[in-house]
Structure 1
Amino acid sequence: MHQPQYSEPMGGNYQLPWTYLHAIKDYADMAWHLENVSEAKAVVNFAPTLLEQIDDYDQQLKGRFKGTGRLKDPLLIALDSPVQPVHAGERRKLINACLRANEEKLIAPFPHFARLAEIARWALEQTERLRYLNEQYLVDLLVWYHLVWMAESVRRSDIRIQNLMKKGHFFTFHDRRQLLTVISEILSDLIPRYRRLAESGRVELSVTPYAHPILPLLLDINSTLEAMPDAPLPEITEYPGGEARAHWQMEEGLRVFESFFGFRPKGCWPSEGAVSDATLPLIAEHGFSWTATGENVLRNSLNKSDMPEANIHKPYRLKDLPPACFFRDDGLSDMIGFIYTKWSAEDAVNDFISHLLNIKATTEDDPDRVVSVILDGENAWEYYSYNGFYFLQSLYKQLSQHPELELTTFSECLESGVTPGSLPEMVAGSWVYGSFSTWIGDADKNRGWDLLSQVKQVYDQKMATTTFDEEMQLAIDRQLAICEGSDWFWWFGDYNSADSVSDFERLFRLHLSNLYQMLGEEVPQILSEVVSFGGGEAEQGGTMRRGG
């Protein structure tokens, strides 16, 4: 589970709502499924910047209800405000925001919302039409948008949400406050729910480096070439001071995680499963007993080590370093992420178990076999009916009760005696295709790396000549860390939708610009130029990739 830092750095206002929308829908539902299947087990990974944003939204709403704080997200502000926008441009922006939902699963199944969406598309065709929409229409659109983004478990159990859905239209200010109250309650209890799940032993919690950077590229940009020998690289082929930054990201990630959960995790999911020969020792240095990455990283590494016949369904250790490395089964993980969305829950779960039993039958001679299924905790479920409710309930129940299969966690695997194999070398790569092609090697992505490296050079110069007080130093370091995050580079490229690319590349430039200002330097003109335009239509909106 991760989201990049969506708040605009100067004013703290959120540019995109995905943190709180996924929190009230997907993160809440995932917790509910694990709570309601007594024998379920899972590993849940949190990026620290996501934890901080969930907490920030929680504090925003608590402050708003006390009358002492302010909301910082445009959609929540509109939902809370007694007055809706009048100007056509503001209305267009608000209506477009309320249409950002899966048509088949989040709009069409709800007749009231589907009708509102139909009116919205009609009104957006001509600017003058926007002026004829009354405030009640905007209120109803806002309420329904949040209702369809509500967790299925909440829709089935919370009488306040049920009453709002039954009412269907002409929502009052009291109705909106009720909805905001539910949202506030979900956000307030979300992190404590996962802490309780961890304390009960149902969930193992793991962590990612603070702002979700691609660690191998911070350590050595040239590691790109191990899996992509012909890839073009940025003009600046060494990220300045990358090793120190990688350590900072790890240390700060652990500090933030521990501040929310009260303990240090045993496992690290390195951002995007990105690993290399240099990354594994760094992970070991920070005390982790396990890490994980993609199947194709293992295949590449086995081939290079002349071990192509080795079992891919087991953990390995690199040169006997402490952390055991588990490897994602791309086929099974991608079936959940992309294929089963179109199947009935029963057929999907039966097919999944059939694949597991086939793997079991072909690995009977290896007592250390483990099948690792790893995917987003947020992006798949809006492509399932009922947010994956029936699929996930059936999956956890049948797996936990199956006589030949055992649900477990990575730490429990190691504690129960699973012995990792030995891997002589690790070919650098990620869970996506076993390479770094999603983050580097494309003209737009490389340009992003050059912009990042340039501000890091300025950072290094200022650190050598200027002394900042402790609070300012931490703020600068955290701002740099956000700029180092992987999501900006994920979205750059012409295969992603123009709207999504525009959202992320604009926010990337804002974060870089703010870092220059924090360092007391003039923002370079080049940050006024768009990094990437996009224009494609990637599968599932580009929020997910297949492993192979």
Structure 2
Amino acid sequence: MADTKRPPLQIVLCWHMHQPDYFDPTSGRFQDPWTYLHAIKDYVDMVAHLEAHPDMRAVVNFSPVLLEQIEAYTTDLTAVAAGGGRIHDPLLAALHQPLIPNEREERIMLLRACLRGAENRLFENLAVYQRLVATARHMLAHPDEIGYLHDQFFVDLLVWYHLGWIGETVRRSDARIQDLLAHQQHYSMLQCRTLVAVIRELIGGVIDRYRVLADAGRIELSITPYSHPILPLLIDLNSARAAWPDCPMPLAAAYPAGEDRARWQLTRAREVYERFFGHPPAGCWPAEGGVCDRTVALAGEAGFTWVASGQAVLRNSLADEEPAMTALYRPYRLPNGGAACFFRDDALADAIGFVYRDWHADDAVAEFIHRLEAIDAARTDNQPMVVPIILDGENAWEYYPENGYHFLGALYTALASHERLATTTFSAFLEAAPRAAGRLRKLVAGSWVYGTFSTWIGDSEKNRAWDMLAAAKHVFDQRAPALDDATRAAAERQLSLCEASDWFWWFGGDNAADTVTHFERLFRVHLAALYQLLGCDPPDALAHVFTHGVSHGSVDTMRPAH
């Protein structure tokens, strides 16, 4: 029998949505299509599941650069539908206007673009696509034969690639998509335009759907610092040694005026959030859960009431001062004030991200609920407790059957109907239990990944990137004051794109060469664009590749906490 004296165990599911800025300022095009592909699959599916479960509460966190890219795609597609403008993404443009190139190299590029991620589970039941892939791979292995491929092959491959990325909730509800799936081959230009029209509707409406749920109090929306930077490293590169004392450091002693940049990142994030959602944000998921004492204080100064990080950061900060359960399942405040800080349950988050993908949905949800029930049963008092479960909201689902359709549906149903478990949001928990917060004497700087910053600094190639960034920041500090207002604002934004954590994630280590090449080139392009905005020539070093990745490396868009 349930203990009616004890309040239900509060559960916060927080889904983080982020894609780096893929726009290439030299070509005027998006280098990679992942923003719009994840929009039509993961962002659409996630909001559909939340809409379908009115008793569920959750937090959805967006990065500002993601919101702005979704807006850019919407602008492109709206203009094209009205008979003007152009689509700045080459892959989406090829679907809209399927004029297949004759040149062999361009055909090779198109084949490769439509095979990226082909091994993912979202394509496993698409038999026609798999046949097309087999032919495409043969042609890539024998490029002299590519000229024998009919243009219709490329059109069909484009259509099936995009059908594979369409969200499962859309496949089950949109008759146009069902007709395209049934057609199977020899797609016409009209059918391509129909698919683009569906994509336009999905991308153009997805942010508003989240806003409607937030306005109704069914979800909380939060934001990440503008370009997804690791704020503690901007403020003090040596914060890397707080949890990793032997971390090899860049040659640069510091990132110049990094605290000012951290303030700018937080302020700009709030501005973008308010423009999209109509009210100020309460919460901030710092990029990669990267926190230190100063970032929490700055978040509070910027107007945020809560931030969150990883379990290992709390463990490092407590140094075994309190029992594990009492420690993890409540927010904390620091002596210098600032935002309240929550810490994710790494095991529960990693179970969703990496374990349950291979389970039957009912078994996975039953095991997950059992874990939560065990936490509830182990409570020794009647104090409010909250279990933060924070993870990537987009990349996990392509490893699940039907894009996580069955798992998310069963999970939300089980959580919403459980008598001892109650879903909530971080802001709602703070409002309902204002005295639940514990006190931390210090916060050991770190991230949700291993509790350190080793994913973004310490490797020789990551450190090289920090030196390049610091050198550009020195030039910015010298030249920006003399720029006119518009150019200075453009340079500030361009600098922020160079500060993004995404570049450093991929440099060094055992990352796959193809992926590293994409990010390494775009990092140098963004730095060069910054120098040009500042009115000076980019240094010669930016013309040379400085990291390559490995030929059989990993393509890890997600990583477990341990």
TM-score band, normalised by shorter chain: over 0.9
Q: Name whichever of 252-261 and 365-374 sits farther off.
A: 365-374
SS of corresponding position for 1:530: coil
Per the TM alignment, residue 257 of structure 1 is displaced from its structure 2 partner at its CA by 0.9
Deviation at 1:313, TM superposition (A): 1.6
Give the whole-Å Cα distance in 1 for the aligned partners of 2:261 and 2:463.
19
Kindly indicate whether residue 45 of structure 2 is the aligned counterpart of residue 29 of structure 1.
yes
Aligned to 1:547: 561
Q: Does 1:107 align with 2:118?
A: no
Inter-CA distance 322–521: structure 2 relative to 1 (3 Å threshold):
closer
Residue number among 158, 162, 166 corresponding to 2:182 in the alignment: 166
The answer as to whether partners of 1:102 and 1:383 remain within 8 angstroms in 2 is: no
Encode CA deviations 1:252-275: one digit per residue, 9 max, x unaligned. 111111111101011011111100
**Are 2:251 and 1:241 aligned?**
no
User: 2 CA distance for matches of 1:163 and 1:93?
Assistant: 29
Instruction: Please point out which of 285, 308, 320 is paired with 2:301.
Output: 285
Pair 495,335 (structure 1): closer, same or farther in 2 beyond 3 Å: same
* Cα distance in 2, alignment partners of residues 199 and 358 from structure 1: 34
The alpha-carbon deviation at position 452 of structure 1 amounts to 0.3
- CA displacement at 1:516 relative to structure 2: 0.6
Moved more, 99-108 or 242-251: 99-108
Contact 1:102 1:382 in 2 (8 A): no
Give the Å deviation of 1:537.
5.5
**1:482 counterpart residue number:** 497
Pairing 1:449-528 to 2, within 5 Å after superposition = 449-464=466-481, 466=482, 468-528=483-543
Shift of residue 102 of structure 1? 4.6
TM-superposed deviation, 1:322 = 4.1
Using the TM superposition, give the Cα deviation of residue 530 of structure 1 relative to its aligned residue in structure 2, in angstroms.
Answer: 1.5
Q: Secondary structure at the match of 2:452?
A: coil
Where in structure 2 are the equivalents of 1:243-258 lying within 5 Å? 243-258=259-274
Contact 2:229/2:287, CA 8 A, preserved across alignment? yes
How far did residue 135 of structure 1 move?
A: 0.5
Q: Deviations over 1:190-213 (max 9, x none)?
A: 111110010111110001111011
Checking the alignment, whether the CA contact within 8 Å between 1:320 and 1:422 is kept in structure 2 is no
Q: Is the 8 A contact 1:517 1:523 kept in 2?
A: yes
In the alignment, what sits opposite 1:302?
318
SS of corresponding position for 1:239: coil
Instruction: Name the counterpart of 1:155.
Output: 171
Is 1:434 equivalent to 2:451 in the alignment? yes
Following superposition, the deviation at residue 368 of structure 1 comes to: 2.9
1:308 Cα deviation (Å)? Answer: 5.9
Moved more, 267-276 or 316-325: 316-325
Match of 1:9 among 18, 25, 30: 25
User: Aligned AA for 1:217?
Assistant: L
- For residues 386-397 of structure 1, what are the structure 2 equivalents within 5 Å? 386-397=402-413
Q: Name the CA distance, whole Å, in 2 between partners of 1:103 and 1:10.
A: 31
Deviations 1:353-400 (A, max 9, x none): 011111112223261311111111110000000000000000011001
1:224 aligns with 2:248: no
Moved more, 97-106 or 30-39: 97-106
User: Deviation of residue 104 (structure 1)?
Assistant: 4.9
1:398 and 2:414 equivalent?
Answer: yes
Q: Deviations over 1:168-206 (max 9, x none)?
A: 100000000000000000011011111001011111000
Q: Aligned pair 1:444/2:461, yes or no?
A: yes
Aligned counterparts of 1:213 and 1:315: Cα–Cα separation in 2: 23
Q: 1:486 to 1:113 in 2, by over 3 A?
A: same
Shift of 1:536: 6.5
Range with greater deviation from structure 2 (99-108 or 206-215): 99-108
Task: Classify the secondary structure of the residue corresponding to 1:374.
Answer: strand
1:494/1:533 contact within 8 Å kept = no
Distance in structure 1 (CA, Å) of the matches to 2:462 and 2:558: 18
My pick for the range that moved more, 489-498 or 506-515, is: 489-498
1:495-535 C-alpha deviation (Å, 9 max, x unpaired): 11111111111100000011111111111111122132111
Residue 11 of structure 2: aligned partner: none
Q: Distance in 2 between matches of 1:535 and 1:38?
A: 46
Give % identity. Answer: 51
Provide the residue aligned with 2:14 in structure 1.
none
Structure 1 stretch displaced more, 282-291 or 308-317: 308-317
Question: 1:52 — aligned with what?
Answer: 68
Distance in 2 (CA, whole Å) between partners of 1:313 and 1:441 is 31
Q: Does the 8 Å CA contact 2:96/2:196 hold for their aligned counterparts?
A: yes
Contact 1:63 1:70 in 2 (8 A): yes
Query: Using the alignment, how far apart are the partners of 1:282 and 1:456 within structure 2?
Result: 21
Q: Does 1:19 align with 2:43?
A: no
Contact 2:349 2:390 survives alignment (8 Å): yes
User: How do 1:195-206 residues align onto structure 2 when only pairs under 5 Å count?
Assistant: 195-206=211-222
User: Residue deviations 1:219-269, cap 9 Å, x none?
Assistant: 000000000000101000210010111111111111111111101011011
Aligned with residue 146 of structure 1, among 135, 156, 162: 162
Greater relative CO, 1 or 2 (CA 8 Å, sep 6+): 2
What CA distance in whole angstroms lies between the structure 1 residues aligned with 2:331 and 2:361? 30
CA contact (8 A) 1:268 1:292 kept: yes
Secondary structure of the residue that 2:422 maps to in structure 1? coil
Answer yes or no: is the 8 Å Cα contact 2:330–2:385 preserved in 1: yes
Q: What CA distance in whole angstroms lies between the structure 2 residues aligned with 1:215 and 1:32?
A: 33
Q: TM-score, normalised by structure 1?
A: 0.97
Do the aligned partners of 1:216 and 1:275 also contact (CA within 8 Å) in 2?
A: yes
Give the aligned partner of residue 365 of structure 1: 381
**Residue deviations 1:418-474, cap 9 Å, x none?**
51100100000011111101100111110110000000001111135x2x2222111
- Cα distance between partner residues in 1 of 2:400 and 2:82: 37
CA 1:436–1:366 in structure 2 vs 1: closer, same or farther (change >3 Å)? farther
In 2: Cα distance, 1:381 partner to 1:366 partner: 36
**Residue 127 of structure 1, CA deviation:** 1.2
- Aligned-pair distance for 1:103? 1.8
CA displacement at 1:106 relative to structure 2:
2.5
Structure 1 residue 321: deviation in Å?
1.6
Distance 2:131 2:294 in 1: 55
**SS class of match (1:227):** coil
- Quick check: 2:235–2:258 contact (8 Å CA) kept in 1? yes
1:74 is the counterpart of 2:90 = yes
- After superposition, give the CA deviation of every residue in 1:92-122 in whole Å (9 maximum; x if it has no partner): 1111111112525123311110100011111
Please state whether the residue corresponding to 2:222 is helix, strand or coil: strand
CA distance in 2, matches of 1:363, 1:486: 38
Tell me how far 1:415 sits from its aligned partner: 1.0
Distance 1:537 1:334, change over 3 A: farther
> For 1:143-189, what per-residue CA distance to the aligned partner results, in whole angstroms no more than 9, with x for missing partners?
00000000000000000000000001000000000000000000110
Report the Cα offset of residue 311 of structure 1: 2.3
Tell me, yes or no, if structure 1 residue 116 matches structure 2 residue 132.
yes
Superposition CA RMSD, Å: 1.3
TM-score normalized by the length of structure 2: 0.95
